Amino acid sequence: MEELLAQLRSANPGVPDEVIWQFLQRRLHGENREYPASFRSLLDGKNRPDEPASMQPAPESFQLRSRCHCGKCKVVWDLDAHHLRVTRCYCPACRHHQASSFASYLATGSPENGMPQFTGDVTKLQHVCDVLGSVARLMCSRCFTKLAVVPDSGARAGEVLLCMGSVEDDSIPDEVALKWQTCHEDWDHASEPSWWRAKPATSMLLRRSQLLKGACSCGRCSFEAKLLPGEAQHCYCRLCRQMSGSVAQTWVPAEKVHFRWLRSETLRLVRTTGHGQRHLCTSCGTVMTIVYDSQPDCIWPAAGTFDDTQLAEASSKDLMWYRVIHICCAYMQPWYLLPDDRLPRLKYAG
Ligand SMILES: [Zn+2]
Ligand SMILES: [Zn+2]
Ligand SMILES: [Zn+2]
Ligand SMILES: [Zn+2]
C-alpha cells in the first residue's frame, strides 16, 4: 500500500495527499461505496462478544500524536491513561469556533501529564468556553487546524485539552478508542444544535425558501442564505476534522444567487484540496464554507456557523431537511460511534 501511495505521489506532483488517498481507497474498494445502515464505527467487530481475543486491557500509558493539516504543528506526548477524559462541549462558544455540532476535547489532566510543546507557528486566540471560562485556543497559524484549548483560570487552569480532530488515529490504542466510544463527558448538552440529530422529513417540498444567518465565532464574518428546507451532509474527512478540531463538520448546500456575505472584514478563501476551497475567518480561525471547483453555482456553509436562535425558530416548522447523510465515514475517528440513526453512510464523499 505504501509503495502504491509513493508511486501515485511521484506520478502526480502537487496533488494533495488527501486526494491521492481517496483515489486509492476508491480503487481498492471498487463500487462498494456505502456502509450498511447498521455501521456504527471503524472498530465495529473488535468489541463483539464473540471475539473476546481481540479485547486486551487498555494500556496504562501511551504515546499520543497530534498534527495539523499542513504538517508544521506537531506534538508527541507520553500520556498517563488514568488522567485522560474525552469531553464534548456543546456550549455555543466552542461549537461556533469549531463550526461543528460539539467541540471534541481530550482533557489531559496536565500538569500531571506535563505540558506538550507544539512545533511550528501556533496562534493563541483569547476566547471563552461557557464551561471552562476564559481560555486560550491554539491553532496552526498557517492552516488554521484547531490544536488545543487551555483554560486561563479556575480549577482547570493550565490543563491542556487537545482538540480530538487533530489527534492521529493510529496513536490511540484500539482498546482505548473502544472505551472512549461510550465513555465520555458531555458539557452543556442542552445546547446541542437541532441539525445534528436531524432526520429527513418525508415531505417532498424541495424549494428552499427560509433565510438563515451564520457567522464565525468572532462575528467579523457573517452571511445570509436560503437554506431551508435543505440537505445536510455530516462529513468525517481529515480536513473537516483537523480544521474544526472536532469529529465532523456538517455542510448544507446553497445556491450562490441566494447566498451573500453580510460582513467579510477578515474573510479569506483558501484552497484546501485539489478540488475545492474553504472560506475562513483569519481573525478567529472559524471555517465557514466549502466551495467546490465542480459546482460554480453552489456554496456549502457549515451548519456549525448557523445562528442558534433563528435555527430554533425554523426547526419548529418540521420541514427542515429532505436529505441527511454521513459522508467520508472511512476517515472517521476510531473512538467515535455513529448514532443508531439508520441514515445512509457513504465511505467517501457524496
Ligand atoms: Zn498547519
Ligand atoms: Zn465550551
Ligand atoms: Zn471570526
Ligand atoms: Zn470533509
Residues 168-182 pLDDT 10s? 999 999 999 999 999
Task: Summarize the confidence of residues 36-43 as an average pLDDT.
Answer: 93
Residue in the structure block whose three cell numbers are 505540558: 115
Going from the Cα of 220 to the center of ligand 3, the distance in angstroms, rounded, reads 5
Inter-CA distances, 245 with 147, 301, 341, Å = 7, 17, 24
**pLDDT value for 169:** 96
Backbone angles phi, psi at 221, to 5 degrees: -125, 130
How many Cβ atoms from other residues are within 10 Å of residue 330's Cβ? 19
pLDDT over threshold 80, residue 110: yes
Ligand nearest to the CA of 102: 2
Q: Which amino acid is at 31?
A: E
**pLDDT value for 332:** 97
Instruction: Of 42-46, 64-68, 273-277, give the lowest mean pLDDT range.
Output: 42-46
Ligand nearest to the CA of 66: 1
Going from the Cα of 67 to the center of ligand 1, the distance in angstroms, rounded, reads 8
Inter-CA distances, 121 with 81, 87, 283, Å = 28, 26, 15
Going from the Cα of 78 to the center of ligand 4, the distance in angstroms, rounded, reads 29
Cell of 339: 448514532
Going from the Cα of 265 to the center of ligand 3, the distance in angstroms, rounded, reads 9
Instruction: Of 6-10, 159-163, 260-264, give the lowest mean pLDDT range.
Output: 6-10
Going from the Cα of 336 to the center of ligand 4, the distance in angstroms, rounded, reads 16
Q: Which amino acid is at 214?
A: G
CA 279/CA 249 separation, integer angstroms:
14
Task: Summarize the confidence of residues 198-205 as an average pLDDT.
Answer: 78
Helix 2-11 with 17-29: angle, nearest 10 deg: 120
Ligand nearest to the CA of 239: 4
Ligand nearest to the CA of 292: 4
Ligand nearest to the CA of 99: 3
Task: Summarize the confidence of residues 107-133 as an average pLDDT.
Answer: 91
Please give the distance of CA 72 from its chain centroid, rounded to a whole number.
20
Please give the distance of CA 185 from its chain centroid, rounded to a whole number.
18
- pLDDT, tens digit, for every residue of 335-346? 999 999 999 999
Ligand nearest to the CA of 265: 3
Residue 73 or residue 155, greater confidence: 73
**pLDDT value for 21:** 75
Q: How many residues does the chain have?
A: 350
Residue 240 or residue 12, greater confidence: 240
Task: Summarize the confidence of residues 293-322 as an average pLDDT.
Answer: 87
Ligand nearest to the CA of 68: 1
Going from the Cα of 86 to the center of ligand 2, the distance in angstroms, rounded, reads 13
**pLDDT value for 99:** 98
**pLDDT value for 213:** 97
Mean pLDDT of the residues in the chain = 90
Ligand nearest to the CA of 236: 4
Contact 66, 74 (CB under 8 A): yes
**pLDDT value for 40:** 95
Going from the Cα of 47 to the center of ligand 2, the distance in angstroms, rounded, reads 31
CA 258/CA 253 separation, integer angstroms:
11
Tell me the three state secondary structure of residue 289: strand
CA 44/CA 54 separation, integer angstroms:
12
Ligand nearest to the CA of 133: 2
- pLDDT tier at 349 (50, 70, 90 boundaries)? confident
**pLDDT value for 229:** 87
Going from the Cα of 43 to the center of ligand 1, the distance in angstroms, rounded, reads 28
